[in-house]
Amino acid sequence: MKPIVIFLFFILCSSMSVFGQSKETLNLEISNLKAQVQTLDQKNQELVVKTATLQKDIEFLQRQIDELKAQRLASPVPPASNNSVPSGYPTVPSTQQAPPPPPPAAVKTTGQYGRCRATTQKGTQCSRNAKSNGFCYQHDGV
Ligand SMILES: [Zn+2]
């Protein structure tokens, strides 16, 4: 054998071994990647299931929102104002219900000679009608 042939054979053997080692490394990486892909696939499937569950929840909530909207449309009572009469409540006709306006106080309580000028025991002016002397029958002559 010539030395060059031995050298070439050595080169070939070493390159083959290097190639084999790199191939094993590649196979290892490929298997690792496959495992990662499987893990990601599992996680993806879990997420798909979760997404479906969330979509069902969203649909359920959307139905509830629609029902609440329909209920509000059926009875549009503003919850903030408690004093307002509900729309379904029968309103009394104004001609029947309206009380007559109170007459002016002077006409009602004061007589021909005005109000009694005497002061009561409470310290307020007497509310009775006065006679010609400016006092009521009770404070007359006081
Ligand atoms: Zn009086």
Lowest-confidence segment of 32-36, 38-42, 91-95, 112-116 by average pLDDT = 91-95
Contact of 77 with 87, CB cutoff 8 Å: yes
For residue 88, report the phi and psi dihedrals to the nearest 5 degrees. -75, -15
More reliable by pLDDT, 83 or 42: 42
Residue at 43: amino acid letter:
K
Quote the ligand 1 centre to 106 CA distance (angstroms).
Answer: 16
pLDDT at 80: 61
- Work out the average pLDDT over 99-115: 64
Quote the ligand 1 centre to 101 CA distance (angstroms).
Answer: 27
Q: What are the residues whose beta carbons fall under 8 Å from the beta carbon of 109, sequence distance 6 or more?
A: 115, 127, 129
Quote the ligand 1 centre to 34 CA distance (angstroms).
Answer: 111
Long-range own/partner contacts, residues 13-22 (CB < 8 A, 24 or more apart): none
Two tokens at 94? 């104004």
Q: Residue 13: is its pLDDT beyond 50?
A: yes
User: Facing residues of 129 across strands?
Assistant: 115
Q: Residue 34: is its pLDDT beyond 60?
A: yes
Indicate the pTM of the whole model: 0.33
